[in-house]
Amino acid sequence: MSAVPAEVLPHAGAAADRQVQDEDALGPRARLWPSLVAVYRAQMSRARVARIPLLFVATFQSIGIMIMMRGVVAGGSDARFVVAGSSVLVVAFVGLNLLAQYFGRLRDSGGLDHYATLPVPAAAVVLGAAGAYASFTVPGTLATAAFGCFLFGLPMAHLWVLAAVIPLAGAALAGLGAALGLLAPRPELATLLGQLGMSAALLLGVLPPHRMPEIIRFVRDLLPSTYGVQAFARTFDGHPDWTAVLGDLGVCAAVGVASLALATWAYRRAAVR
């Protein structure tokens, strides 16, 4: 049985012409990975001028906290949590706080409409922006960790674990920050939520958990950055429990996937309004 050409079917031919015209006007929808890379590069280039001030503020804040804590913490397990918590705080400042503000402003100013007109998947926009903001934290986190080890006399042999802590904790916190910014009805509220989240990462991450009341430890376990702090703090032991470290990093990864999925859903929800 031979196929009938579309040209001889009036309705089919018209529909085909309209489809071609639509594709010519809008272009084919881009794939996820190339779109993600394009958004990531665009975000990195746009924020290049502001990168140094952001890194300075985030790093100076964490180093200042460690210097203050040095007056009440001499060493031991308490010092491990102070250094680990201060290092992850750099990630929280940029990934959670600043990303919440960015998406809050983007939604309020109508910037989401620009992205909505592009043939770019929603996940690429969220992941590209989150990845760019998380990348800003690498130098500051490394500098904070190295200074903290020097300040408290901790070994630096396992600082390489930050290569896993930064992206996994960064994904969890950046996804949460993006979701807060996209779901907040006003940019002022997004800024407030970002500040509160960063304050929680500060208080619940830097302070040693055994000094906290039981109810506060329960709240601490709900914070995504907690598991990045614990994973890094465990590496300061003479013989780290790598199974426990991998378990904490696994929780960070799972929370990161969930928070980025939530941020993607929030982006689609905000873009259609």
DSSP code, position 223:
S
Question: Coil, helix or strand for 139?
Answer: helix
Lowest-confidence segment of 51-55, 65-69, 196-200, 210-214 by average pLDDT = 51-55
What is the Cα Rg of the chain in Å? 23
Residue 39's pLDDT is: 86
More confident residue, 269 or 54: 269
Q: What ranges do the domains of the chain cover?
A: 30-271
pLDDT of residue 229: 95
User: Token pair 């600082």 is at which residue?
Assistant: 159
Return the structure tokens found at 80: 């491990």
Q: How far apart, in whole angstroms, are the C-alpha atoms of residue 182 and residue 238?
A: 43
Helix (H) or strand (E) holding 117, with range, is: none
Question: What predicted TM-score, i.e. pTM, was given to this entire model?
Answer: 0.83
Give the chain's count of helices (H) and strands (E).
Answer: 13, 0
Listing DSSP states for 161-201 in one string gives GHHHHHHHHHHHHHHHHHHHHHH-SSHHHHHHHHHHHHHHH
* Confidence band, pLDDT 50/70/90 cuts, at residue 20: very low
Residues near 250 by beta carbon (within 8 Å), at least 6 away in sequence: none
Distance CA 100, CA 174 (A): 8
Question: What is the rounded CA–CA span in Å between residue 44 and residue 164?
Answer: 21
pLDDT of residue 29: 54
The pLDDT-based confidence of 263 (bands split at 50, 70, 90) is: very high
- Rounded to whole angstroms, the Cα distance separating 143 from 146 reads 5
* CA–CA dist 47, 241 (Å, integer): 39
Question: Hunting for tokens 């904790």 — which residue is that?
Answer: 169
Q: What is the mean pLDDT of residues 48-77?
A: 82
Report the percent of the chain where pLDDT is more than 90. Answer: 43
Instruction: Write down the pLDDT at residue 227.
Output: 94
When pLDDT is averaged across residues 16-36 and rounded to a whole number, the result is 55
- Average pLDDT score over residue span 20-35: 57
| pLDDT tens column, 197-252 | 989 998 898 988 888 888 988 889 889 889 999 999 999 988 899 999 999 999 99
* Residue 50 in this model has a pLDDT that exceeds 80: no
pLDDT of residue 49: 63
Q: Give the 3-state secondary structure of residue 121.
A: coil
Tens of pLDDT, residue by residue over 29-46, are: 567 788 888 888 888 776
Tokens of 14: 């018209």
User: What is the predicted pLDDT for the residue at 28?
Assistant: 53
Residue 4 has pLDDT above 50, yes or no: no
Name the band, by pLDDT with cuts 50, 70 and 90, for residue 90: very high
Of 242, 229, 76, 238, which Cα lies nearest the Cα of 157?
238
Mean pLDDT of the chain: 83
